Amino acid sequence: MSKTADPYYPLDSPLSSSPSGMRRGTLKLQEKLLLSPQPRTESLPRLTSISDFLSPHHSTVHPPLEDLNALDEYIQEEPSNLVQIIPALTHFLEQYCLDKPETCGELWRGKLKPLLMELQANDQPVERPRPPSPVCERKPEKWVNVHGEEWEDDYAWLKDRENPDVLKYIEDENEYASKMLEDTKPLQKLLYKEFVSRIDESEQSATVTLQDGWTYYTRKVAGQEYRLHCRSKDGKEDVYLDENVIANSKEFEDASYFRVGFLKHSPNCKLIAYGIDSSGNERYTTYFMDMDKKQVLDDRIEGVYEDLEFACDNSVFYTVLDDFERAYELRRHKLGTDVTTDEFLYHEEDEMFFLSLTKTCNGKYILLNSSAQITSETRFISTEKPDDPPSLLFPRRENIQYTCENHGRYFYILTNEDSKNNWLFRMPIPSTPSKSPSTYEELVELRETVIEHRDFVLIEHFEVRRNHLIVFERSNCLQNVRIVDLSYDGFNTYHYISFGEMVYSLWPGTVREEERALAKTSQFDTNVLRFTYTSFIQPKQVVDYNMDDRTMTVVYEEHIGGYEQTMYTSRRLFATGVDGTAVPISIVYRRDLLGLNQTPSQPNPCLLHAYGAYGAFVNPIFSASRLSLLDRGFIYAAAHVRGGADMGNGWYEEGKLTKKPNTFLDFCSAAEYLCKEGYTTPSKLSIYGRSAGGLLIGAAINIRPDLFAAALTEVPFVDVINTMFDATIPWTAFEYEEWGNPNDREIYDVMKTYCPYTNIRGLALARNAYPHLLVVGGMNDPRVAFFEPLKFVAKMRGERRRYLSKPVRSSPLAQDDSGTDTPTGSGLRKAPTLATMAGGTPNDTLLPSHPTPRSLLLRIEDAGHGGSSGQYSFLENLAFEYAFLITSLNADTATSASIPSPIRHDFDEGVQDGTIKPKKTKKRGKEDVEEKEYRRKAKGDRGPSNIFQWVSNLF
């Protein structure tokens, strides 16, 4: 077999990247979009199967037209539910006229015409008074920081979750948000119905056949929030775990949150271990079950983190969290023994390091990774000799990372040592721990390079099979997969998998961790690579790729009701940053609704999303819910800003620590580009980000409030300086390598330029110069504390009121020479501001103002970092957020016709929007994203798992 040419090469041209625990409800606010709270298995009325739902006659969202009593009760309970019945009424009238044409005249004259005349006569806009916004008391706390500067925080008291006044303020904010969007309830109901109409409520995942002869998979049941874990043999199905039954058991029926976070199978397939989080704080209680007897064992382990692995003797290795939410200890449990006697195997004493567990592809080793943001080391445990202590493979060295796998006599190791991106080498497995080389120099002598470092290629991940090495790479924001044939000497016999699109995403296995882990080990002795492929316009496909004959078989495909792929297209654009850097932007839109294709051209409403931290990727993946925006004329854009690794590790390094402002400037440049090129305008531009991406949104609206019409941010990290000064807050020490330690004067000065909480512009708020803003937080969030979004909104309201109550000149805030308002005594230095660098103005009096107040809304939900736990409750909350965006931009509330109108094809010349065309064997329903994505690092998104970035990508 001949070597295939490497497709990567340096280019001069820049043209050459249900969610886990989704939201259930808001704190002390049990409002549901359709009905009052129901048991989780029937949180909304589900009457029949998906096939009936897709029929125009009937919907699982509402009662059938034939049941007038149920229909009347449904509408009386919530009048806005009427909007969901209109399509069924329309179909009923259509069929009635076809069946009884002689009645059409009388029906029109006697019923429909008078009704239409009455509705048209009443179709006048109604101005409803705005409810008063909540008031949060100012309780100033002053201190002098390590740099000798006086610092003041009026809302630090909101950190106390036990304070009744804090809980009352949260309740007031939640009620205010609901009242402000009360008029959008019909739109929310319509959006919700659209969401549900597209999903396959009886979806079944890809299957995996194990050594016990059973075929394993998961599936949904229409009307139920959670999944069923199943296996089949000889045509008989065995449901071995029903998450809905557990969720409604006495133990969890009153829980505000429920999630099965992990499910692991023992090597002999006789046992499973599963972890349940009932609060959203990501501390799992682990249960064990005998698969044959369907008996839950007495063993129960509390406070387990999401990593747990079985050894061959059915003992389990697991990690636990400390008081700062850090996985710090490795333990081993032998089934049938008292948990309090579990063996303590490793304690990570450095508070900047976090433990994680993985199992090698061949199942022979459990790998313990101890990592900080940019430094790691790995220990290994033989699954066949679990009594042996963990052995150190490579000791930690500052700023060096290692990711390991096992193949035969070797460990394959991916590292960034002495390289811009990373490279791959292998070394022999130490025969016994006692014979392991004791010095780093001795270890280096054993290394053999497998893939050399390349400045323009980042290796994201790698796996091994018996005869193949699989390398997932990224270059110029594009992903590729290299397949190396290990049956030949050396590593020069390889090929790349080709794909038909320019804007796409792929990852190993499937998103759901249980299926991915089973497939990885069961396929080790095969020539098959299983991966997931998707794009902005291609629903997810799980593909089995034969690495010898280079053929693809789709073993699962997401089914989207009513979706016509040819109506949509995606493309890659490049904005020019303030320093001349080319910033990639991926966009998707409906072809016939693109305003640039109209004569004259018209700007579209747009939603711009970014993340920009931890070296994470903003992947262009398909979202069925997003179609509700695209069908209303929206352009969805993802900006691949610095701080992520979409363009390699160098891209990441240019957006962290003292270079963090590059992230915000890139984002503003992307927004400016979309406006300049005619895709949208500031009056039609909305933005979205969550967690560290919420920091980006908070900074952007402070830097360029004039550039955006609406902003939505979930669980935002916005109080950067106060949080990073407070070592008692979970994750703080771990985060120093990402954001920096503000005790360092240089880091501190940079933080002061972008910290959203510190840089709120009160005069701009008083002049209605900010965009509409919706902020969402989680009361049990262990990564971004609930008080960050709470304090942020409280201060925005307080600063606005202060300016409205006093003339500018008598304000307690002092203006610098440029007109920027800065807190007196805060130590903010006069320097070129980010607003000026981003093309805006730091002078609030020069910002364009609006005649009516901007919406400022906050929802604090009784959930964790990922939101609520059920697939339907997630869609309810998403409908709330979409309704906010649509109405804030004054976009069309109704979708456009499904039939595309003629377009100018010359505008799309060169756009590649095809999909991979493998041989298809099956088509099944929607696969939700309820598990963590494979992890490139041990931690990200202010937490160890990248699933929450998937939540953003799915928006």
Q: Tell me which amino acid residue 193 is.
A: K
Q: Pick the more confident residue, 41 or 308.
A: 308
Going by their DSSP bridges, the two strands 228-233 and 327-333 should be labelled as unpaired
Q: Tell me which amino acid residue 784 is.
A: V
Q: pLDDT at residue 905 above 60?
A: no
Cis amide leading into 600 (omega within 30): yes
pLDDT tens digits for range 703-730: 999 999 999 999 999 999 999 999 888 7
- Residue 452 is predicted with a pLDDT of 96
Q: What percent of the chain has pLDDT over 90?
A: 63
Q: Pick the more confident residue, 89 or 239.
A: 239
- Residue 59 is predicted with a pLDDT of 52
Average pLDDT of the segment spanning 551-562: 94
d(CA 353, CA 336): 32
Q: pLDDT at residue 930 above 90?
A: no
Q: pLDDT at residue 174 above 90?
A: yes
Q: pLDDT at residue 253 above 90?
A: no
- Residue 440 is predicted with a pLDDT of 77
Q: pLDDT at residue 937 above 70?
A: no
CB atoms within 10 A of CB 821: 23
Of 48-57, 435-444, 521-530, the range with the lowest mean pLDDT is 48-57
- Residue 570 is predicted with a pLDDT of 97
Q: 236: part of which helix (H) or strand (E)?
A: strand 236-242
Q: pLDDT at residue 824 above 50?
A: no
- Residue 807 is predicted with a pLDDT of 60
Q: Pick the more confident residue, 567 or 280.
A: 567
Which residue matches tokens 């240089």? 746
Of 43-52, 621-630, 943-952, the range with the lowest mean pLDDT is 43-52
pLDDT tens digits for range 724-772: 999 888 778 889 999 999 999 999 999 999 999 999 999 999 999 999 9
The pLDDT-based confidence of 71 (bands split at 50, 70, 90) is: confident
- Residue 549 is predicted with a pLDDT of 95
Average pLDDT of the segment spanning 127-155: 93
- Residue 269 is predicted with a pLDDT of 94
Q: pLDDT at residue 639 above 60?
A: yes
Q: pLDDT at residue 921 above 60?
A: no
Q: What is the mean pLDDT of the chain?
A: 84
The pLDDT-based confidence of 533 (bands split at 50, 70, 90) is: very high
Domains in the chain, ordered, with CATH?
A: 69-110 (no CATH), 143-194+563-804+852-893 (3.40.50.1820), 200-254 (no CATH), 259-408 (2.130.10.120), 459-559 (no CATH)
CA 484 distance to own-chain centroid: 32
CA proximity to 402, closest of 427, 378, 431: 378
How many angstroms separate the Cα of 278 from the Cα of each of 226, 232, 284, 864?
14, 30, 8, 10
Of 282-296, 575-589, 773-787, the range with the lowest mean pLDDT is 773-787
- Residue 917 is predicted with a pLDDT of 37
d(CA 619, CA 641): 12
pLDDT tens digits for range 562-614: 999 999 999 999 999 999 999 999 999 999 999 998 888 999 999 999 999 99
CA proximity to 615, closest of 424, 928, 373: 373
- Residue 295 is predicted with a pLDDT of 95
Q: pLDDT at residue 488 above 60?
A: yes
CA 906 distance to own-chain centroid: 35
Q: pLDDT at residue 294 above 70?
A: yes
Average pLDDT of the segment spanning 666-681: 98
Q: Pick the more confident residue, 88 or 725.
A: 725
- Residue 897 is predicted with a pLDDT of 52
CA 278 distance to own-chain centroid: 20
- Residue 908 is predicted with a pLDDT of 38
The pLDDT-based confidence of 367 (bands split at 50, 70, 90) is: very high
Q: pLDDT at residue 817 above 50?
A: no
Q: Tell me which amino acid residue 305 is.
A: Y
How many residues are listed for the chain in this entry? 955
Of 55-64, 304-313, 881-890, 906-915, the range with the lowest mean pLDDT is 906-915
Q: Strand order in 494-496's β-sheet?
A: 458-464, 468-475, 478-485, 494-496
The pLDDT-based confidence of 70 (bands split at 50, 70, 90) is: confident
- Residue 18 is predicted with a pLDDT of 34
Tell how many helices (H) and how many strands (E) occur in the chain: 22, 40
Of 131-135, 249-253, 645-649, 926-930, the range with the lowest mean pLDDT is 926-930
Q: Partners of 585 in the beta sheet?
A: 573, 639
Q: Is 566 helix (H, G, I), strand (E, B) or coil?
A: helix
Q: What is the dihedral of CA 156, 161, 163, 165, to 10 degrees?
A: 70
- Residue 66 is predicted with a pLDDT of 85
Q: Give one DSSP letter per residue of 458-505, joined into a string.
A: EEEEEEE-SSEEEEEEEETTEEEEEEEETTSSSS--EEE---SBSSEE
The pLDDT-based confidence of 206 (bands split at 50, 70, 90) is: very high
Of 11-25, 260-274, 355-369, the range with the lowest mean pLDDT is 11-25
How many angstroms separate the Cα of 347 from the Cα of each of 320, 343, 355, 370, 386?
10, 11, 9, 10, 18
pLDDT tens digits for range 417-450: 999 899 999 999 987 655 555 677 888 888 999 9
Average pLDDT of the segment spanning 689-696: 95
Q: What are the tokens at 492?
A: 């020069």
The pLDDT-based confidence of 456 (bands split at 50, 70, 90) is: very high
- Residue 651 is predicted with a pLDDT of 96
Q: What percent of the chain has pLDDT over 70?
A: 83
Of 351-365, 445-459, 584-598, 854-868, the range with the lowest mean pLDDT is 854-868
Of 24-33, 531-540, 812-821, the range with the lowest mean pLDDT is 24-33
Average pLDDT of the segment spanning 412-420: 93
Of 96-100, 846-850, 868-872, the range with the lowest mean pLDDT is 868-872
